Amino acid sequence: MTLWSDAHIFVYHRFGDSRHPTTSTSKEELVKEFEYFKSNGYEVVSLGTLVEKLKKQEPIPDNWIVLTIDDNYKSFYQNGFEIFKRYNYPFSMFVYVEATQKRYPDYMSWEELKEISSLGSLEYHSYSHPHMTYTDSKKLREDFKKGLKIFKKYLGFMPKYFSYPYGEYSKRVKDISKEFGFEAIINQNMGAVSKKSDIFDLDRSALVGKTNLKYYLKFRYLDAKWIEPKGYPKNDILKTLHVKLNKEANSAGLYISGYGWQKIPVRKNEIKTTLNKKLQKARNRVILSVNNEISTKLLIKDKYGTK
């Protein structure tokens, strides 16, 4: 079988929790996905294994899958962990520190987190799970400092990797996050990972609710340099799209949240077109597609700009 994909990072949240169908993966669905990986030549590797390849700028095997879990919900301990153990699939759990520290009932305890670390790594997902683009820089740094201090106190080490709460970030948020020494930062954005991926902006697709696994696996990494837009535009108007591609193409597909797909021309490996689209949400995806290769830009409104 030919694997039409680069490496993929997937994220789960809840497991077998019927109260939250849009963010939960049933046990039956999880087994179905794991069987698909097992039967079709995919290798589930740790996030650390992938990051080490990226650090060395080495080619990423097409059949690699990385599994991550955000928010340390107790449903993973109750319903998901046994299935991961059955398949011996490594994972990275991104810990919402305040939820465990204050013993919120839906979240795992420190003892349970230590128990699951026999198979997976424990990583960082913030202290208070804020909307980071709506949090000023001082409070953002305080949240990191507080959460990381508690994380180390109870788990005995500092996490290597960070994922954004709600998958929301901006250049300001990314720059502040990098101050805390993480070796890699993970977003929540549809795409694939190649050796050219930004180690501090790794694409990760969500496998929650009812998902089409084959749809996500078909995508490859599109080597694209985004010139415009760099971030969320002033006055909510996406005026211009300017992207350089490291491949030949006559046309590309362009997706903008709220507007759907359209076909745009590519000239001399470059896309430069006027859009003048008013963004309809605070969080928007702009996706470029050439055949089955994609590159995605998240445009999220930052209340505090670049300060």
CATH fold of 224-300: Immunoglobulin-like (2.60.40)
Phi, psi (degrees; rounded to nearest 5) at 189: -150, 130
Chain centroid to CA 177 = 15
pLDDT at 187 over 90: yes
Tens of pLDDT, residues 143-162: 999 999 999 999 999 999 99
The domain limits of the chain are 8-219, 224-300
Q: Is residue 130 over pLDDT 50?
A: yes
DSSP 233: P
pLDDT surpassing 60 at residue 2:
no
- One-letter amino acid at 5 equals S
Q: How confident is the model at residue 125 (pLDDT cuts 50, 70, 90)?
A: very high
Interval 280-296 mean pLDDT: 92
| 173-201: average pLDDT | 95
The pLDDT value given to residue 209: 77
DSSP run (H or E) holding 171: helix 171-178
Question: Which residues fall within 8 angstroms of residue 75, CB to CB, at 6 or more apart?
Answer: 14, 15, 16, 17, 24, 106
Confidence of residue 258 (pLDDT cuts 50, 70, 90): very high
- Kindly report the average pLDDT of the chain as a whole number: 94
pTM given for the model: 0.94
Q: What is the pLDDT of residues 189-247, one digit of tens each?
A: 888 999 999 999 999 999 987 788 998 999 999 999 999 998 999 889 999 999 999 98
User: What percent of the chain stands above pLDDT 70?
Assistant: 98
**8-219 CATH, one of 3.20.20.370, 3.40.50.2300, 3.40.50.261, 3.40.190.10:** 3.20.20.370
The model's pLDDT over 35-57, given as tens digits with 9 standing for 90+, comes to 999 999 999 999 999 999 999 99
pLDDT of residue 306: 59
Give the model's pLDDT for residue 4. 41
Give dist(CA 12, CA 53) in Å, integer: 23
Alpha helices in 126-225 (DSSP H): 137-155, 171-178, 213-217
Beta strands in the chain (DSSP E): 8-12, 14-15, 24-25, 43-44, 64-70, 92-95, 121-124, 161-163, 184-186, 205-206, 220-221, 224-228, 237-245, 251-256, 260-265, 270-278, 283-290, 293-300
Say if 8-219 and 224-300 have the same CATH topology.
no
pLDDT of residue 237: 95
